[in-house]
Amino acid sequence: MTEISHKIDYTQFKTHAVPCCVCGSEKHEFFCTKDGMDYVTCCQCSHVYIRNQVSETDLLSIYSSRKSHHNLNDKLKWDFSRMKAKLYYDKLLKRIGKYVDQGPLLDIGCSNGSFARAALDGGWDALGLELEESSVATAKAHGVKVIQGELHSQSFPDNHFHAVTMWNLFEHLSEPNATLKEIYRILKPGGVCAMCVPNIRSIGWWMLGPDWHSVEPQIHLNLFSTKTLSLLVRSNGFHVRHQVTLDIKPATISAWIKGKSSRKTSNHAASVAGLAQKSPAKMRLLFGLRQITNPPLILTHSGEDIFCTIQKPKDKTKRNPFDKKLRCSRLVM
Ligand SMILES: [Zn+2]
């Protein structure tokens, strides 16, 4: 998903209160406030979300009309993405390949197409889906098949894709259940969906609270934990095959060291991409340090990102995939 780089005046949009997307409960408590907007936490399942949301149509029009990812130029973004490709994407593709044969892969919110490019290079028949026009153009320029638009208007065939991926997209969605149902429909039985979302129960939140860069109420409508994410995907019929939390971001450490006064400028993607441009060696060192910092974060489920790999059952007759009565008996932590 292409992220916006400046604040929106949400007062111009009509909002409506939504229940918890994980368990459906209306009972909630105040969690935190930022930029004049409140996150609440569900009293039943502890999910953290924005309760007063704009309509899906307004949200799409906001994204369609906004500037691209952190104002970074296309070349810098692409170079950064290719560096990530070598360090991250090949591993992610390998993990997906553990559960399903190579075939059609859909990367929803593909941004400049770098992951889809890596998937193509790795032998997948990759297709990207992206709202933002300039990102679509960049992806196409790098030989990636990409459709400009959103998932629900595509009418993909049933049981078609072997894999669907969503990197830093799912937390943006106002209707995550509807998206999971659509992904379930278009995945073949045994097909895999892999995603990455910020982890609200992470070291980033503990260090910085609302100043943590992932607390972005205008665009991050749902802030998941490993518990609430697995609860949600299971209630939509998926099996959780792999879930891990990884990474503490340089921007988080830097903001914590510098203190509160500079925290509001904390911007992970921009700072890391800037480092990638200025000093590739330092960038490699940074990624190397992950080998030291990640084991304790994995053990304590406190990494800043949740990577989750879920699978549509091969035999879908076993139970109704959308049986929401199962939800609260399926807490995993
Ligand atoms: Zn809930």
Report how far ligand 1's centroid is from the alpha carbon of 93 (Å).
32
Looking at residue 271, its pLDDT comes to 56
Report how far ligand 1's centroid is from the alpha carbon of 50 (Å).
12
Overall pTM surpassing 0.85 (yes/no)? no
Looking at residue 262, its pLDDT comes to 46
The CATH number that domain 70-316 falls under is 3.40.50.150
Distances (CA, A) of 247 to 2, 199, 256, 267: 21, 10, 15, 15
Report how far ligand 1's centroid is from the alpha carbon of 244 (Å).
21
Report how far ligand 1's centroid is from the alpha carbon of 328 (Å).
9
Looking at residue 327, its pLDDT comes to 43
Report how far ligand 1's centroid is from the alpha carbon of 152 (Å).
25
Vertex 74 angle, CA 275 and 288, to 5°: 30
Report how far ligand 1's centroid is from the alpha carbon of 228 (Å).
8
Beta bridge partners of 243: 308
Biggest CA-to-CA distance, the chain = 56
Report how far ligand 1's centroid is from the alpha carbon of 18 (Å).
11
Q: What is the pLDDT of residues 227-270, one digit of tens each?
A: 999 999 999 999 999 999 988 887 887 788 877 544 454 455 55
Report how far ligand 1's centroid is from the alpha carbon of 88 (Å).
32
Looking at residue 265, its pLDDT comes to 44
For residue 255, which amino acid is it? Answer: A
Looking at residue 179, its pLDDT comes to 96
Report how far ligand 1's centroid is from the alpha carbon of 24 (Å).
6
Report how far ligand 1's centroid is from the alpha carbon of 45 (Å).
4
Ranges in the chain, pLDDT < 70: 1-10, 62-78, 82, 84-86, 260-284, 286-287, 316-333
